Chains A and B, each alone.
Chain A
Amino acid sequence: MKRIVLVGSPNSGKTTLYNLLTGSNFRTVNYPGSTVEICEGNLNEKWLIGEAGLNRNDLKVVDTPGTYSLFPKSHDEEITRNVLYPEDKQQKPDLVLLVVDGTQLERQLIFFRQLKEADFPLIVAVTMKDLLAQIGMGSADAFQALQGILGVPTFAVDGTSGDGIQQLVQQILQGKGKEQGKGQQRQDSLPSEVQALPAVWTAQKTIQEKKELHAALLGAGFIRGQISKITDASRLWDRWLLHPWLGFPLFFIIMSLLFSSIYWLAQPIMDLIDFSFSTSSDWVLSFASGNSYFNLGLDFLAKGLIASFGAILVFVPQIWILFFGMGALESSGYLARAASLADRPLSWVGLSGRSFVPLLSGFACAVPAIMAARNISSRREKWIANFIIPMMTCSARLPVYALLVGFLLQGQASWKAGLLLAAIYAASLFVGALAAALLNVLLRRVQGQDAESLFAMELPLYRTPRASVLLSQATKRTKAYIVRAGPVIFAFAILIWMGTTFPHWQSENPTLQLQESYLGKLGQKIEPIFTPMGADWRVGVGLMSAFAAREVFVSSLAVIFQVTDATEGSQEEGMLAAMATAVRSDGQALFTVASVAALIVFFMIALQCMSTVAIVAKETGSYRFAVMQLLLLNISAYILSVAVYQVLLRANLFL
């Protein structure tokens, strides 16, 4: 089996090419450093039609994180270096496919020079053919001439249409590129004398060859001045989006639109889903008969399964909108600008703009966000980022906040709820920044001064996001969310329904049935822990179940409060009505502004996701750090939520 390794500068189009070669559907974004791990796949069969004796398992294609050279500056770049120089000699690349952005040819040839001198079998794939065509460049003759200059097979490919891929694959199958690297000089690792001379090693050569190369590229039709025209539109956008005065207000407007739209855009579809679940629930209960066992089964279906899944699935449109909006930002090229804008404010808390995208990814899910922090060069900064990413409002928190916000602003315009939701997102950023600042103060106190890290962010060209790609990627991510949460919701639906139904399942008094149930008894034992934050045992059980998955909090409440009331218009209304009428054992309202605010604060800070704990341990290489983070965040969440509730209660502002 042959191993073809795709390498190249960040954002040069490697993942797009990988998807085309393998038929995969990995997410591609217009942001440098989005790929942080390797992906392996077999060559798509469609490229092998007419190639007798070959099957797709004969060729393994490997996508790698972007790197500018063979001398890594961050963890993701190290991964690429290790793929090129693997410990296991069986994994050595048979061919390196260098992916070069056609609009950045001159600049990206430093890495080409390194690979050529390191004697890798090499083929160059020049991407962004469509952009070159827009300015009348990149003809077949030009690429022929370029191949002559580079001395290795060179092909132009268009990631959008797939143009040029067939020719590229044919050359790979014919073993082209091998002439360059026969492997006779190539060593198993970079020679030590070369390692001692990082970029200068090739920069010197590049300088010497620069004039010659420039003249040759000019002769081949790659006219620098002409290429610069591609940037004109981007520069025009940047005049506004990175304006000294308007840059930040526009940044806040864009972010506020993203997070507030989650609520008000989703509302009509949510109502539809809600209606279908409440109708299903009523329909199931309408089959009730004189047989108590049959009724028990119906009760499990309606109040266990339908209530649990309905409570979560009603929020799926919001999650889809979040993924769609983030996808649009990622594809547009604005993210790198936003990261640059955020660099200065983040530096106040010991981070850099490089942490911005991992933090923003944390709004979708903390696990890939922590992996995205690999492209932060400073270890210290990476630790701080890993510590605060779990505090970002991930999609699992969204159903919880949506329910609590819905309760606080019941009956009011949905744009108000959208604004409050955006404020919660902002607050989670603020709390995260505060935690980062505290860690930074600790480090600064010991280190004596701020250690600055590498930033040097490449600002890609703005590109219009393709609607079909955005739709399919948002749907794919939403599906993944449902598939991940589904089994946990199902398991807890059974557990909580059984816990709240037995042993007095035949009781005619639902309140007594709940209080005397297994879960009721257990909950009353742990209630003193939750009382200081304004919760009773039912909310306490919901909070405990949220450690399996945060969204289970909502489905647990739906089961505990038996939200299938046919008198309410919908399940969501039923849930809000149940919350509004719920009382504690002393007869006081259970859900008040104070207790709901305390719950929001708890969810904002608490680290309940065990997958996040595992990935933090893996990425930092320290179980101790992960465990201490788990303890510190959860203890802080509890203390702060108690403080919020008690202060609001004492101030007598919101009972």
Chain B
Amino acid sequence: MYPEAFCIFILNLLGVADLMEESTANFNKVHQNWEDITPGIFRIQRLQGATQICDRLRELGLIEGVQVQVLSRLPLGGPWRVQVGSAQFALRPLELRCLVLGACT
């Protein structure tokens, strides 16, 4: 049996075939290598990338000009722990890539 057809068959059976249309295109990758980031204090220069993610980050208070402290990365390559003021967040690398950070002067 052709695997893709089988997958579609099962998804149709469950009535969730429309999930196949859920696009991943919104999650554009921005070229900033967060794998090399080291903990420290930075200032957000701008936000760029997926609109949905940038909007949520702004709503969380991660806006241009704000000082952020990158604390550490969670085990197994998990989210990064980031502090803004007295608030702490766990952000996936995909979300962190939307923050363009500069040195904190």
Q: Which residues of A contact B (CB under 8 A)?
A: 68-69, 71, 73, 103-104, 106-108, 110-111, 198-200, 203, 206-207, 210, 224, 227-228, 230-231, 234-235, 238, 242-245, 247-248, 336-337, 339-341, 343-345, 352-353, 378-380, 383, 441-443, 445-447, 449-452, 454-459, 622, 624-625, 628-629
Contact = CB atoms under 8 A, between A and B. Distances in A.
A446 B20 contact: yes
Contacts, number: 180
Interface string B39-68: 000000000000111111111110111100
Contact of B16 (A71, A231, A383, A441): A383
Interface string B64-95: 11100001111111110101111111111011
A625 B15 contact: yes
B11 A340 contact: no
B19 A203 contact: no
Nearest to B75: A247
Contacts of B95: 454-456
B79 A340 contact: yes
Contact of A452 (B74, B78, B94): B94
B32 to A, nearest CB: 16
A198 B79 contact: no
B52 A459 contact: no
Nearest to B24: A451
B20 A443 contact: yes
Interface in B6-46: 7-8, 10-11, 13-16, 19-20, 22-24, 27
Contact of A110 (B3, B15, B58, B79): B58
Given A210-B65, A343-B74, A454-B56, A380 B19 contact: yes
B91 to A, nearest CB: 6
Contact of A203 (B20, B27, B58, B85): B58
12 contacts: A198-B51, A206-B63, A227-B85, A235-B88, A238-B71, A336-B90, A443-B19, A452-B27, A456-B60, A457-B89, A625-B15, A625-B16
A247 B79 CA distance: 13
A244 B75 contact: yes
A601 B56 CA distance: 42
Instruction: Tell me whether chain A's interface is mostly helix, strand or loop, or mixed.
Output: helix
Contacts of A231: 83, 86, 88
A339 B65 CA distance: 29
Given A73-B56, A107-B85, A380-B22, A248 B14 contact: no
A68 B20 CA distance: 29
Contacts of B53: 454, 456
A311 B82 CA distance: 50
Contacts of B4: 445-446
A624 B13 CA distance: 8
A343 B24 contact: no
B79 A238 contact: no
A341 B55 CA distance: 24
B83 to A, nearest CB: 7
Contacts of A455: 79, 90-92, 95
A452 B27 CA distance: 7
Q: Which of B58, B65, B84 has the most CB of A within 10 A?
A: B58
A200 B79 contact: no
A583 to B, nearest CB: 42
Contacts of B20: 443, 446-447
A353 B53 CA distance: 16
Given A456-B89, A459-B88, A446 B56 contact: no
